[in-house]
Structures are given as C-alpha cells and as structure tokens.
Amino acid sequence: MLLAAPARAGDVTHEVEVGGVARSYIVHQPPGTTLQRPAPLVIVLHGGGGRARQVARATRFSELADREGFIVAYPNGTGRGPLLLTWNARYCCGHALRENADDVAFIAALIDRVAA
C-alpha cells in the first residue's frame, strides 16, 4: 500500500477516536517523503505489556524507514494507564480483552488517517 506522506519528517504522536475511546500511535516519516512522493506504510505492533515508543526504540524500524523510504506507524494497545498496554486477542490479554477493545477498527482508522 502506497500512502501520501504527512507534512513533516520525523516522529509525531497522533490520536484517533475508535468506539468512543481515544487511541494513540506514533508515525515516523522519513526525510524526502512528500505528498507528491508517496511511500509504503509498515505497522509495527508492540508485544503484550509494551508501548509504541518502546517497540520503536527496540526494533529501530525508524532507522530502516529512513534508509529505505517507507513510513512506519507504531500503535499503542490499551491499558488502565500508560504502561502495560495489551491487544485484544479474543482469548487474552488483560485490559484489552476485558474492555473488548476493537484493535482491528483502530488499525483501520490509523491507516485511513495516515493515508489522508
């Protein structure tokens, strides 16, 4: 999927409301991507108990994105606070399961927002 790039390079934190819940994600746009030069999008999910910023540092996908010219998004799962975030895997995981978080709708909304 090729997407038009956001207005500026670097890491920007965004929020989108899904099912009445504010969800956050970080988008990294490599230098040189513009609205006239669309780029592919890679979505990197953190593990259970992780966070977007943590997985960005651990995987270094942003550095790879800068070299290879793609946009990378790091969504946050849900939790009772800003730590120990999880995804709703239908059979586990903590807060996301209990609250029936619609992670599929969240990722779809994230893609729509980055593509806009």
pLDDT tens, position by position, 61-108: 999 999 999 999 999 999 887 778 988 887 777 777 777 778 999 999
pTM: 0.86
pLDDT at 2: 47
- For domain 2-115, the CATH class is alpha beta
Residue 51 has pLDDT above 80, yes or no: yes
Sign of the torsion angle spanned by Cα atoms 80, 48, 106, 112 = positive
pLDDT at 27: 96
Where exactly are the structural domains of the chain?
A: 2-115
Burial (CB count within 10 angstroms: exposed 0-12, middle 13-18, buried 19+), residue 7: exposed
